[in-house]
Amino acid sequence: MITYVLLGVFCLFLLRAPIFVALGAPAVAYLHFKGVPFALAPQRMLGTVNESILLAIPMFLLAGRLMNLYGATERIFDFAQAVIGWIRGGLGYVSVVASMIFSAMSGSAAADAVGVGTITVKAMRARGYDPSFAAAVTLGSATLSPVIPPSIIMIIYGAAANVSIGKMFLGGIGPGLLMGVAMMALVSFISWRRSYPKGDPFSLRLVTRTFWRASLVLMTPVIIIGGIFSGILTPTEASVTAVVYVVFLGVVYRMITFRELYSAVVGTATAVGALMLVVSVSGLDAWVIAREQVPLALASNMTDLVSSPTMVMILILLLVLILGFFMDATPVILMLVPAIAPLVNAYGIDPLHLGVLFCIVCVIGLITPPVGVALYGVAMVSKLPIERVFWATLPFFAMLIVLIGLMIAVPGIITFLPSVFIDG
């Protein structure tokens, strides 16, 4: 029976049915054919979203939306350009640095792609950069948002796998910095090969002026990440604090209006409502998977085939990569995590190491067709065909695959900071 359920899910995805329908309809059909009371469905759905940590998601999304309204992205861009824009291909570096800073505020690749991309793509095209390259750098940089804390998909993964969100956030810092440095190295190579222009000469006065102008904005990630890692704030409390601080910035910059605030709240509520519907429906799928003893069967079969924990981790990540081409990160996490839990326990795999890698691999799905939300966002702001943006992004895709292999081989890239600040 479980075969028909899974087949139904994938068929509905291929038919481009709404995600909650693709996940929910086969599960409801299962209840019908198995004679299970339909009253179980709302119970499982409500139980899945009855997690306090999930409250952080709407707050971080709202903070990111408000940041864009108050011109935070422009201030970050100006500061990054003053610091590093004078190098050959400088605007490519600026895109990466601006995304790294913005990532520490929004936690959303789609918000990063649209918010930062709106400015960087326009600026790069005006300076004579290839539009495809401008879009590719922006899209590649957007993958940093779900890795550098606070990360929305890490919150979802942590809640689903019962892994400390604080450890997940700390574990994402090393990979996020490594990805950022690798992207800048790739930008440097491409810029040198194509002889892209240098920016204006370095000016300490300009750096000081743009830093002062962006200083209050730059305090946002300090408050969020510092509050969580110091133990003063939980991730949920940090998300609320971020919203309060961003509203305060709107008052300071005199850019806040009730109409815009109301619009941001409504837009966030709409996005979160759709997300939580998917999360709740996935709880019913998880119940069906557990009832059919899929995790136990999977663990038993994998034990017979593979003996190395590293190989098991690679196989899990390959499955995540394949599913990520066709599904958004949230349903991939919510469907797979319950199924792989016995494997993680049976092979003694570090759940933190796997969890961060799981989220990073999910990120690849955000920049690849057919359902890459960040890909569509960058194509929209760059006014280029999706196919052209994707092909230009392939070097960044290849770089991410290499880095994932490195992080599998060297777990310390992920586990070092959590071991020092939390376990130490």
Using DSSP, state whether 411 is helix, strand or coil: coil
pTM: 0.78
Domain boundaries, the chain: 39-423
pLDDT (tens digit per residue) in 121-155: 777 777 778 888 888 888 888 888 778 887 888 88
Residue 375 has pLDDT above 80, yes or no: no
Q: How confident is the model at residue 357 (pLDDT cuts 50, 70, 90)?
A: very high
Q: What tokens does 327 get?
A: 């599904």
Q: What is the spatial distance between Cα 75 and Cα 164, in angstroms, rounded to a whole number? A: 33
Between these two residues, 395 and 371, which has the higher pLDDT value?
Answer: 395
372: which DSSP letter? -
Per-residue pLDDT, 23: 75
Structure tokens at 244: 């309060």
Average pLDDT, the chain: 80
**Residue 195 region by backbone torsions, left for phi larger than 0, else alpha for psi between -120 and 50, else beta:** left
Residues in the chain, overall count:
424
CA distance 240 to 236: 7
Helix/strand/coil for 254: coil
Cα distances from 311 to residues 343, 360, 364, 400, in angstroms, run 12, 18, 20, 19
User: What does the pLDDT read at residue 112?
Assistant: 66
The CA distance from 126 to 226, in Å, is 37
Q: How many whole angstroms separate alpha carbon 241 and alpha carbon 417?
A: 24
The alpha carbon of residue 212 and the mean position of all alpha carbons in its chain are separated, in whole angstroms, by 29
**CA-CA-CA-CA torsion sign (210, 113, 115, 378):** positive
Both tokens of 264, joined, read 């941001």
Task: Please tell me the distance from the alpha carbon of residue 403 to that of residue 355, in angstroms, as a whole number.
Answer: 16
Mean pLDDT throughout 90-118? 74
Residue pair 338/44 in contact (Cβ under 8 Å)? The answer is no
> How many angstroms separate the CA atoms of 373 and 109, rounded?
8
CA 204 vs. chain centroid, Å, equals 34
